[in-house]
Structure 1
């Protein structure tokens, strides 16, 4: 028993960190979906602000350590399509009486982060081999998703509704996914500094500060995302128990459950 404790690193492993984030996520979504029915405490929303940064932090770790990055990206894409389809189906066929939107979709955000990290690795590898033509190509590829977003939105009003809905489900767009470009940038920042824990944590603190400055310190509840910092600091670099598919199932399941429950309660 003594040797077992000696082999364990101080802090919390990836499994424990994800479980903490999942619990806080439920509080946050209870506030989002049920505050129109009950007087849900505002602190449910505040503690939920740390969830997205933690999951992005862990997705960066997952991307770095996965043996098959393409398979990891494909798994995220399939999850994003399934969730987007489910959200669209429920929103169209079972709209809430108060028209509160079903917009949750972190799978799409994390998928886009993974795509950008894959391209960054492509750029770094070609810099090492001094293949500057491919380096330039890499930077162009980084811009394509965002450029396509603006192009799509500029013509969206002229598209047949079925094409519009198909694109929204099948093509995650940086400016429309949950958290948008700021969260994608966060994933990139954490990845660029992940080799040095202190620099990574400092980069996150600076990131939050920049958001505050841009918003002129009017960031609202999003300012509470700074409290993800101590949880990131406690991460000991160990994976912990495997939970590859737990989040893939739990995330959409609890979102759809709370959405349907809110419709039932609002209709009473």
Structure 2
């Protein structure tokens, strides 16, 4: 399956999730649909980290858009956590250490930073893309590991809704009979822009 198709599904899922969170918190189905987004974006981060010509530029790009998204995320989502782009940035830097065979530094980075900083999804969010990267040639192992860490995440935070993310990861096995090519920076731009638009609706309506 082309990664661009996964990105489109993830983007639509994220939009649905945030609409539910902000405008219709009583409609839990919208939040369930939103569980599709995280594993697909995390999978995309792992794929991108592997195929990018420069993981340094990849990390810088994430950092720039994470900064751009900071104020909209704070105003619309209304929490003090660093947004998901910062979470994925920590993952990418950890993967960069692994690529350079600096495994000890990578391990320390991937354990310490999400404990010190209030990142969205915390350790769970940082490690899922890393696990996808490490087992990139073994999709079934990716699925099993994701299921295990998601169960631990749900138990730790006494939540259940994130469990819906597990079956949605099966989308990585889907091979549609069409090709979809999206603009390279679509997700990076969409993330802050959709928060700004939702914020405008929230403010005026």
Q: Which TM-score applies when normalising by structure 1?
A: 0.67
Contact 1:105–1:178 (CA under 8 A) maintained in structure 2:
yes
Q: How many residues align?
A: 203
Instruction: Report the counterpart of residue 58 of structure 1 in structure 2.
Output: 44
**Cα distance change of structure 1 residues 68 and 240 upon mapping to structure 2, 3 Å threshold:** farther
Q: Is the 8 A contact 1:33 1:259 kept in 2?
A: no
Aligned CA-pair RMSD:
2.7
Partner in structure 1 of residue 126 of structure 2: 184
Match of 1:262 in 2: 202
Gaps of at least 5 residues in structure 2 are none
Indicate if the aligned counterparts of 1:205 and 1:229 stay in contact, CA closer than 8 A.
no
For residues 40-55 of structure 1, what are the structure 2 equivalents within 5 Å? 41-55=27-41
Cα distance in 2 for partners of 1:221, 1:200 equals: 20
What is the correspondence of 1:188-207 to structure 2 with a 5 Å cutoff?
188-207=130-149
Q: Contact 1:109 / 1:178 at 8 angstroms: preserved in 2?
A: yes
User: Are residue 243 (structure 1) and residue 183 (structure 2) matched?
Assistant: yes
Identify the range of structure 1 (54-63 vs 206-215) with the bigger mean alpha-carbon deviation. 206-215
Could you tell me whether the CA contact under 8 Å between 1:14 and 1:235 is conserved in 2? no
1:28 and 1:46 in contact (8 A); partners too: yes
Provide closer, same or farther for how the CA distance between residues 235 and 205 of structure 1 changes in structure 2, counting only shifts above 3 A.
farther
Counterpart position of 2:6: 17
**Change in CA separation of 1:204 and 1:225 when aligned onto 2, cut-off 3 Å:** same
> Shift in Å at residue 136 of structure 1?
4.1
The change in CA–CA distance for 1:138 and 1:182 in structure 2 (over 3 A counts) is closer
1:228 Cα offset (Å): 2.0
Matches within 5 A, 1:155-170: none
The CA distance in 2 between the partners of 1:246 and 1:189, in whole Å, is 25
Residue of structure 1 in register with 2:68 after alignment: 82
Partner of 2:169: 229
Q: CA deviation at 1:214?
A: 4.3
Contact 1:109 1:184 in 2 (8 A): yes
- SS of residue matched to 1:177: coil
Q: 2:78 aligns with which of 77, 81, 101?
A: 101
| Whole-angstrom CA distance in 1 between matches of 2:110 and 2:164 | 29
Where in structure 2 are the equivalents of 1:113-152 lying within 5 Å? Answer: 113-123=91-101, 135-146=103-114, 149=116
Partner of 1:110: 88
Change (3 A) 1:111 1:239: farther
Relative to structure 1, is the Cα distance of residues 222 and 139 closer, same or farther in structure 2, using a 3 angstrom cutoff? closer
